[in-house]
Amino acid sequence: MPHVMLTWQTAAAGAVFLLVVGVLSLRFAHGVWRAKVAPVVRESGVILALYALWQYAGGLSLGHAADAVKRGRWIWNTERSWHLPSEKWLQHDVVHNSVLIQICNIYYATMHFGLLIATLVWLFLRHRDVYPRVRMTIILTTTMCLLVGIVAVAPPRLIDVGMVDTAAVHGQSVYTVSAIGADQYCAMPSVHVAWATIVPIAVITASRSKWRWLMLLHFFATVYVVVVTANHYWADGIVAIALLGLALCLQWTAPRLLGLLSLRRLMTATERVAASSEVTHDFDRDDDMRVG
């Protein structure tokens, strides 16, 4: 399978170029280019910049490989104590099906960001009122995932629990190309699952089509492939969804808190103006009495 992922350097350079062209076009261009093309170019730069940040931060996890393996085994043992289904059991049913497992490898390597970009483009072109909110959700969720991911955690395929590195077996691993910058010890949490949860939420809430519910298949497919390819634990997806929930809560509460603060400032300013007017009125009344 060809490696179609961009390096963070290439993505960053492309993002800068698109952002510069988009901003300059919005300022100096005219007609159709300024109204329709320039915003798309600028937002493409924003998306590519987010991709570059994700690729770069993916290689910044702290700790040695031995520590990452210990954390991975702790997660594995904790899941067993919680009686979660074994990832090994799920993989066992498909690991010998060469065609299916290669499809899973390709889906893991390409669809998480590919479908996210397609969704953002669709929202920008068809539901621009929803686009800013979804983009902020992605930024907040991805940032929190990357911050948690700084602590190195080895995936199931690297902790010697009997799971097969399916991508390596079939020569499809994205981690065999060092220029990508992807970190094998950045399993927790799963950005794949976080983005695969955002996509159906965005589509289902923005669209009115009866087919919009089919986007839930992408979520279930992503959860399935990240597990059967031995790249993530169940816990990685659970934590990712929890961080997404936190991001949504922040988006819901922040405007309301800002609104309350603005209202409080307005009330304080009104009280000061009223007090100032009352003092001025008293001075004027005293002056009138002295004149009388």
Q: Are 143 and 34 contained in the same domain?
A: no
Number of domains in the chain: 2
Predicted TM-score (pTM) of the model is: 0.80
User: pLDDT (tens digit, 9 = 90+) per residue, 133-146?
Assistant: 999 999 899 889 98
Same domain, 231 and 173: yes
Which residue from 144, 150, 120 is spatially nearest to 42, judged by alpha carbons? 120
Verify that 68 and 50 share a domain, yes or no: no
Q: Who contacts 246 (Cβ-Cβ below 8 Å, separation ≥6)?
A: 144
For 62-120, the pLDDT digits (tens) are 567 788 899 999 999 999 999 999 999 999 888 889 999 999 999 998 888 889 989 98
Name the residue among 148, 3, 161, 144 with its Cα closest to residue 69: 161
CA distance 253 to 264: 16
Least confident of 105-114, 207-216, 217-226, 256-265: 256-265
Q: Are 33 and 100 found together in one domain? A: no
Classify residue 164: in a domain, yes or no.
yes
Domain check: are 154 and 38 in the same one? no
Distances (CA, A) of 6 to 1, 22, 52, 191, 232: 15, 21, 8, 17, 22
Q: 11 lies in a domain?
A: yes
Same domain, 91 and 186: yes
Instruction: Categorize the per-residue pLDDT at 220 as very low, low, confident or very high, splitting at 50, 70 and 90.
Output: very high
Q: Are residues 130 and 34 in the same domain?
A: no
Domain interval for residue 25: 1-57
| Same domain? 41 vs 166 | no
